[in-house]
Structure 1
Amino acid sequence: MTRPEINRSGEMEVFVCVVERGGFSAAARARRMTPSAVSKLVSRLEARLGARLVNRSTRAFQLTPEGCAFYERAARILADIEDAERSAGSGEQPVGRIRLTANASYATHILAPILPEFLDRYPGVTLDLIQTDRVMDLLAERTDVAVRAGPLKSSSLVARKLGDTAMLVVGAPAYLARFGEPKTVDELDRHNRLGFGYVRTVDGWPMRKDGEIIVVPTVGRVQASDGEALRRLALGGAGLARLASFTVRDDIAAGRLRPVLEHLNPGDREAFHAIHIGQGGPLPSRVRALLDFLAERGKVL
């Protein structure tokens, strides 16, 4: 007896749609199918694979670990198929939507000035830019590329370094005139030290003291969720902030901010990387184009 032909790419498309739409009903509307047909197709897929992909309940839709792994591979395969078809018909000109996340400082000072050039260079590409300092799960958030600051944890993600930047403690001239400019680490106790409202790899300000490097806690009256908010607070005279030099370079040149305690700066630098899912396999041309562009024009100094 002849076995029925299996439309694997069609099954993948429906399953990926279920994941990205967040459920069977939403996927059914997008695919112009009935919810029961979508559910049965996923059930057949699970039976053929011999693995449960989705935990079903009336209140929640949740992927199993096997479902997450299958979604990641299926989405990549479908993207490769789409990319191959588009490349064949468009001379390999990148097309499609890219979902990009970056912290507020990088988005404001690096991305905003250069993205118009990228869009002009690749008119078939559209961008979803999510500005957040939160470390996002690229797979769960369906993100193509994330720009992250700081040391990287070992993972299945692939990273391309975009440079690194010096860190500076800065304050507004009006704030320093009112509260005085600190000359020693101990004098920081008299100052409002603006900090982040979430745990970071180094939760404080590294400073030199008595030949050693210590970490000064950011005990202040204001905390913020991103570096750009801290910069604006410092500009407004709310306190001192320790920020990436590329974010305050223009402010220092214009006299809006002034570096302090530079003789006690340990000289540490914060690295920036462009991250994407995969282990060196083929990338959609649109994603590869963005990574190459960031390596060319998105360097942090």
Structure 2
Amino acid sequence: MKQVKVDKTTEMETFLAVAMTGSLSGAARAQGLTPSAVSRMMTRIEKRLGVRLLVRSTRKLYLTSEGKSYALAARRILKDLEETERTIADRANPSGLIKVSTPTAYSRLTMIPLYKEFLQRYPNIKIEVEVSDKISNVADGHIDVAIRFGPLPDSNLTARRLGETGRTVIATPNYLAQAGIPKTPADLQHFNCLDFSFQRLEPGWPFRENGEDYILPIKGNMTSNNGETLVELVMEDIGITRVGNFHIEKALASGQLVPLLEDFNPQDKEVIHAMFIGGQHMPARVRVFVDYLVEKMASSY
């Protein structure tokens, strides 16, 4: 004899309604069913399980210990089903807010031109941008995606490589016309070299000469914790600096800035990563955003 398929999801929802309201009629109103239909459903569950789940008094229904266990399991199953459906739907049509943290200069020069196309692709996603040269804490949930340069700290976060940027020593043609052109790294002692203000393990600029890498101490009358500021100072003909290439691509192409000492460039690279909380519960909005960044930026530098 062919068995009739049972809608166990509806049964569990109705059973929980009975448990919550304490009556068949209350559950019937909540579920849009008749009291007799609810009663038949409760009887069918008990018959299939072979245990009593409900005890009826003159005024109210009570759960047996087995009924309490069934209610607990039903809540968990229905919640898991709801989360699964929401996850699958979210993958098909990602939505929600993404909080992104990027360094100041990188935000203006690289990230801002990318946001428009991403939001056109995913119109149900919103982006909140935090621009700061301080490292934001992704692990505490305040930020969804953080763009970071250089070596990665040990953590449980997931990292996707976006690209890398080299560094170049630069000055303006006007400054070089006034101060001269350095022919070797040693010549920099006679020039005003503008450097980053943060402390390094080895202060100075790296060079490669006769196959050997070394750090050359430099000196100047201005420092900054921001590469874009150093470029702006150089554009005012104040001196020479060494910054990441993403800062200066357009200015080099236009001739506003001139690369120096390229024969001595050690070709050191700074890797750029997107940091985020990964895993199977990673929100689709974060996944598609990181995938988009990889697509657009992996070969940029």
Q: Could you state the TM-score of these two structures normalised by the residue count of structure 1?
A: 0.66
Q: Distance in 1 between matches of 2:176 and 2:81?
A: 59
Match of 1:188 in 2: 188
**1:66-90 CA distance string (max 9 Å, x none):** xxxxxxxxxxxxxx99986655666
Q: Could you tell me how far apart the structure 1 residues matched to 2:280 and 2:88 are? A: 20
CA positional deviation for 1:133? 2.3
Output the amino acid matched with 1:106: Y
1:103·1:226 contact (CA, 8 Å) conserved in 2? no
8 A Cα contact 2:192 2:240, kept in partner: yes
- After TM superposition, the structure 1 = structure 2 runs for residues 1-301 of structure 1, keeping only pairs within 5 Å, are 86-87=86-87, 92-140=92-140, 142-200=142-200, 203-209=203-209, 211-278=211-278, 280-299=279-298, 300-301=300-301
Contact 1:170 1:241 in 2 (8 A): yes
User: How high is the TM-score relative to the length of structure 2?
Assistant: 0.66
- Cα distance change of structure 1 residues 201 and 123 upon mapping to structure 2, 3 Å threshold: farther
Give the aligned residue type for 1:193. Answer: C
Q: Distance in 1 between matches of 2:151 and 2:274?
A: 12
After superposition, the C-alpha distances for 1:26-65 in whole angstroms (9 at most, x for unaligned) are xxxxxxxxxxxxxxxxxxxxxxxxxxxxxxxxxxxxxxxx
- Taking the aligned partners of 1:153 and 1:177, their CA distance within structure 2 comes to 43
In the alignment, the residues of structure 1 paired with residue 225 and residue 141 of structure 2 have an alpha-carbon distance, to the nearest angstrom, of 19
Any conservation in 1 of the 2:91–2:284 contact (CA below 8 Å)?
no
Cα distance, 1:223–1:206 mapped onto 2, change above 3 Å: same
Q: Distance in 1 between matches of 2:287 and 2:82?
A: 14
CA distance, structure 2, for counterparts of residue 225 and residue 82 of structure 1? 48
Consecutive unaligned residues of structure 1, counting only runs of 5 or more, are: 1-79
CA pair 88-275 structure 1, distance change in 2 beyond 3 A: closer
Computing the radius of gyration from Cα coordinates, the structure with the larger value is 2
Cα distance between partner residues in 2 of 1:143 and 1:81: 28
Identical counterparts, % of pairs: 37
Counterpart code for 1:263: D
How far is the alpha carbon of 1:264 from its aligned partner? Answer: 0.7
Structure 1: which 4+ aligned runs deviate by more than 4 Å?
A: 80-91, 200-203
Aligned residues: 221
Give the Å deviation of 1:214: 1.4
Q: Please report how far the alpha carbon of residue 243 of structure 1 lies from its aligned counterpart in structure 2 after TM superposition.
A: 1.6
How far apart are residue 238 of structure 1 and its match?
2.1
Change (3 A) 1:86 1:220: farther
Query: Per-residue CA shift, 1:124-151, capped at 9, x if unaligned?
Result: 1111112222222223571111111112
Gap runs ≥5 in structure 2: 1-79
Aligned mates of 1:202, 1:126 — CA distance in 2: 42
**Residues 157 and 219 of structure 1: CA distance in aligned 2, closer, same or farther (over 3 Å):** farther
Cα deviation digits, residues 219-271 of structure 1 (max 9, x gap): 32222222222222222222212122232121111110000011111111111
Alignment partners' CA distance in 1, 2:297 and 2:83: 24
Separation of aligned partners in 2, 1:141 and 1:216 = 41
CA separation of 1:125 and 1:233: change in aligned 2, threshold 3 A: same
| Residue identity opposite 2:184 in structure 1 | T
Query: Aligned partners of 2:86, 2:208: CA distance in 1, in Å?
Result: 56
